[in-house]
DNA sequence: TAACGAAATGACAACGTTGTCATTTCGCAA
DNA sequence: TTGCGAAATGACAACGTTGTCATTTCGTTA
């Protein structure tokens, strides 16, 4: 039995109900201190009574900004949760909301298409979460008035980028092996098209070559344990294989299981390192040493980068978030 | 060296450049067929030349809607990725974008607070992803003009809800045991505050009681493998324990490892079922039978429910998305 | 009490679209 | 050519805010 007069209650309605001008209502919302307390109370009472809610569209139209950051998901993988979590938290902290769309697969998976769609939405800047290669990566130009940050390990000619230091993480793991007397490191990759996998492989290769070691042929996996197991069976037969770097923990676990099934011990016979440090969730007393990336931190950095660039959309920076080696017992020190 | 005249190009600028009226530009965008082809081309050319992008705020203000659905994340867990994926896909398909905010922990974690924030943002309706209890759940009333769907296993007095049928899934798993001759089923729970865990436990209890079986004391876990391992050590000593239902796959794996370490075989001595069907990703040749929930489907349903209710925000419905039992080899048929 | 500066409030335009309704232009038959 | 209905286009208001500037009210001092 409340007011059914109009669909939405406007500031004007509140103003009339409170016996003040529209502008005063506006002030109560935006600069409360400039309104006398008695007036303010009256307005608040009227807002409450009428169920007033400020109109986002009108406000944004006048202000020329939205208070929203766009997020484009090109790909949704496990690590993405933590990253989104970081983005969302950082956004909340800075008073921004997120506007999200998904552009997976299909012809539409280009940066240009995503940017076109985003720029029709309420956003002051945007973040692209790109985990695979897209056709127009190099040729893409972001809208000049919309700060754009791409989460990708590749460098972009005009946009800011943020990434885990996947390459550095892989290098770190290799050096960890080599510093403990291992003469070579085998590598089990993830899916071919994954940029993460490619970067991890690149880092592995670089680390070996730096030491003058010829990298052996990498084994192709698909992120899942079964492919790691298959790789492990092959590796078990290589007498020179004392160290294996797997592109994620699941495959590393597969490798370890295969080695054991072949009568080899980890770490006594073969040492193993994985990525993502998530095996402990699934395996009790897990011994797997693993390179962990701080996805949450990544998201936070990406958001901060966008917000920092709102005033200067054409600025460009490159941020790398380093990984951490979580040491457990899966690596043997051959020097001992 | 392009136009630096104004910050943003408006329809009016395009109209002048194309030598038509502002309204004609509007028509080119919204009802192209009502504009002569030659005129249309001229306008398109002008839009291209000036880099015109329609202003979201002005458009929404006039139309009275945003084309965005709000999503509130109260909690961000593993299954949430797939759910968000489903929501995003369904939204994309129906031409909606998502407006997302996070409300985790703290005093602010009430439905009322989330609704207040959301209703200041560009949204036509909203989805709350609620995996834990909040104080004001029962007393909460959604804004009358904003369709609200809550993803939660609990029924809500006024809002539509969507949920996995966690209870049914647990019941299904128990009956699977009982139908194969098991006389009792032990249960390993997840974290106490988790609604999922509570519902799974409820279903387990109900299934046993329906058959006149007194449910044994449930074992308290925390979702991770180590807690499952601890539970497994306890269960290994119970002579009447032939069947274990663990509230997720990680703990189920912990249980299995403990049983094996105690010299018991799965499934010969003890049968095990888990939840979420994700062990195969981490364990090669996994034998764990598991109840899988279709999180993606859940997200799709939630979004569709919101969109369907946009015109009638006060409508209310309850949707349950059933789980699926993925059969592997971890359950022994005692009748055989 | 008068005069004054500061504080509080108000009137009005503007943001960039779309809806309404009026006007112009077009194609075609007489 | 003229006339006519339909198609194409345009003028103007409106959506609900906030910024600008003018006006009113207040508290203080002379």
Confidence of residue B1 (pLDDT cuts 50, 70, 90): very low
Is A282 within 8 Å of B80 when comparing Cβ atoms?
no
Average pLDDT, chain B: 93
Quickly give A39 CA vs C2 C1' distance in Å.
29
The predicted-structure confidence for B147-165, as pLDDT tens digits, reads as follows: 999 999 999 999 999 999 9
Contact A8/B98, CB-based, under 8 Å? no
A150, containing H or E segment: strand A147-151
pLDDT band, very low/low/confident/very high, at B306 (cuts 50, 70, 90): very high
Is residue B196 within 8 Å of residue B228, measured between CB atoms?
no
User: Residues of A from 217 to 236 whose C-beta is within 7 A of strand D: which are they?
Assistant: none
CA distance A26 to A31: 8
Contact list, A228 vs chain B (CB under 8 Å): 284
Question: Are B271 and B331 in contact, with CB atoms under 8 Å apart?
Answer: yes
Q: Residues of B128-151 as b/e, b for ≥16 C-beta within 10 angstroms?
A: bbbbbebeebeebebeebbbbbbb
User: What pLDDT was estimated at residue B2?
Assistant: 35
A138-171 tens-digit pLDDT? 999 999 889 999 999 999 999 999 999 999 999 9
Distance separating alpha carbons of residues B192 and A307, to the nearest angstrom:
38
In chain B, the residue whose alpha carbon lies closest to the alpha carbon of A279 is: B282
Nearest CB to A56 within list B77, B122, B284: B122
Residue A287, pLDDT score:
97
Q: Which residues of A touch B91 (CB under 8 A)?
A: 101-102
Check whether A1 has a pLDDT greater than 50: no
Nucleotides of C under 7 A from a protein CB: 7-12, 14-20
Mutate to test the interface with A, among B108, B284, B286 (most CBs of A within 10 A): B284
User: Are A90 and A299 spatial neighbours (Cβ–Cβ below 8 Å)?
Assistant: yes
Name the closest nucleotide to A52, judged by C1' and CA.
D16
Q: Report the pLDDT value the prediction gives residue B4, as an integer from 0 to 100.
A: 40
Which residue gives the smallest C-alpha to C1' distance to C14? A62
For residues A65 and A264, what is the distance between their CA atoms, to the nearest angstrom? 62
- Considering only CB atoms, A57 lies closest to which of B57, B88, B89, namely B57
Report the alpha-carbon distance of residue B216 to residue B132 in Å, rounded: 25
B120-148 tens-digit pLDDT: 999 999 999 998 889 999 999 999 889 99
Query: CA A284 to CA B251: how far, in whole Å?
Result: 9
Number of A/B CB contacts below 8 angstroms equals 178
Q: Can you give the pLDDT at residue A2?
A: 35
Per-residue pLDDT at A76: 77
Q: For A222-283, what is the HEC assignment?
A: CCCHHHHHHHHHHHHCCCCCCEEEECCHHHHHHHHHHHHHCCCCCCCCCEEEEECCCHHHHC
Among B111, B73, B71, B76, which residue's Cα sits nearest to residue B306? B71
Q: What is residue A72's DSSP assignment?
A: E
Residue B218 pLDDT exceeds 90: yes
Q: Which two tokens stand for residue B288?
A: 């764990």
Q: How far is the CA of B22 from the C1' of D5 (A)?
A: 26
The strands making up A243-246's β-sheet, listed across from edge to edge, are: A219-220, A186-189, A243-246, A271-275, A289-292, A324-326
Q: What mean pLDDT is reported for chain A?
A: 93
Residue A10 beta carbon within 7 A of nucleic strand D? yes
What the block records as the tokens of B78 is: 């593993």
Q: Is the CB of A248 under 7 A from strand D?
A: no
In Å, how far are B225, B329, B332, B336 from B242, measured between CA atoms? Answer: 20, 15, 9, 15
Q: What pLDDT band is residue B5 in, cutting at 50, 70 and 90?
A: very low
Q: Give the CA-to-C1' distance from B36 to D5 in angstroms.
A: 18
Counting Cα atoms < 13 Å in the Cβ hemisphere of B237 gives: 4
Q: For residue A324, is pLDDT > 90?
A: yes
Structure confidence at residue B163 (pLDDT): 96
* Nearest beta carbon to residue B100 from set A80, A97, A229: A97
How large is the average pLDDT for residues B11-38?
94
Are B22 and B12 in contact by the 8 Å Cβ rule? The answer is yes
Tell me whether strands A125-129 and A271-275 are parallel, antiparallel or unpaired: unpaired
Are the beta carbons of B242 and B268 closer than 8 angstroms? no
Q: Collapsing DSSP states into helix, strand and coil, what is residue B261?
A: helix
Q: Which residue of A has its CA nearest to B81?
A: A81
Model confidence, pTM? 0.90
CB B98 within 8 Å of CB B126 = no
Residue A229 has pLDDT above 70, yes or no: yes
Look up the protein residue whose alpha carbon has the minimum distance to the C1' of D18: A62
Q: Is the peptide bond before B267 cis (omega within 30 degrees of 0)?
A: yes
- What is residue B107's predicted lDDT score, i.e. its pLDDT? 67
Residue with tokens 């941020």: A319
Per-residue pLDDT, A131: 85
Q: Is the pLDDT of residue A184 over 50?
A: yes
CA distance B136 to B113: 10
Task: Return d(Cα A145, Cα A66) in angstroms, integer.
Answer: 13
Q: Are strands A289-292 and A324-326 parallel, antiparallel or unpaired?
A: antiparallel
State whether A66 and B56 contact (CB < 8 Å): yes
Are A143 and B282 a contacting pair at CB < 8 A?
A: no
Q: How confident is the model at residue A92, as a pLDDT?
A: 94
Stronger pLDDT, B336 or B255, i.e. the higher one: B255
CA B309 to C1' D18 (Å) is 33
């Amino acid at each position: 039995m409340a007011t059914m007069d109009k669909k939405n209650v406007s500031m004007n309605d509140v103003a009339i109900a409170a016996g003040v001008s529209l502008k005063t209502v506006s002030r109560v919302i935006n600069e409360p201190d400039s309104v006398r307390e008695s007036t303010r109370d009256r307005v608040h009472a009227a807002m409450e009574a009428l169920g007033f809610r400020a109109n986002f569209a009108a406000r944004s139209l006048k202000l020329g900004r939205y208070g929203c950051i766009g997020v484009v998901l090109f790909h949704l993988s496990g690590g993405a949760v933590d990253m989104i979590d970081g983005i969302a938290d950082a956004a909340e902290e800075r008073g921004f909301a997120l506007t999200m769309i998904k552009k997976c697969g299909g012809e539409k998976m280009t940066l240009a298409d995503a940017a076109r769609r985003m720029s029709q939405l309420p956003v002051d800047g945007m973040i692209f979460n790109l985990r695979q290669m897209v056709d127009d990566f190099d040729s893409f130009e972001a809208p000049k008035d919309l700060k754009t940050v791409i989460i990708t390990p590749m460098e972009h000619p005009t946009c800011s980028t943020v990434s885990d230091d996947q390459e550095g993480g892989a290098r770190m793991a290799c050096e960890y092996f080599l510093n403990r007397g291992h003469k070579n490191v085998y590598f089990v990759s993830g899916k071919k098209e994954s940029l993460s996998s490619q970067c991890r492989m690149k880092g592995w290769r670089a680390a070996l070559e730096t030491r003058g070691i010829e990298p052996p042929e990498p084994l192709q996996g698909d992120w899942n344990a079964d492919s790691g197991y298959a790789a492990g069976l092959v590796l078990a037969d290589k007498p020179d294989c004392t160290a294996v770097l797997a592109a994620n923990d699941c495959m590393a676990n597969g490798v370890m299981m295969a080695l054991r099934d072949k009568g080899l011990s980890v770490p006594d016979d073969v040492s193993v390192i994985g990525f993502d440090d998530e095996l402990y969730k699934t395996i009790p007393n897990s011994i797997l040493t693993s390179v962990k990336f701080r996805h949450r931190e990544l998201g936070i950095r990406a958001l901060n980068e966008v917000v920092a660039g709102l005033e200067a959309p054409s600025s460009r920076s490159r941020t790398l978030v380093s990984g951490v080696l979580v040491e457990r017992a899966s690596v043997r020190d051959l020097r001992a």
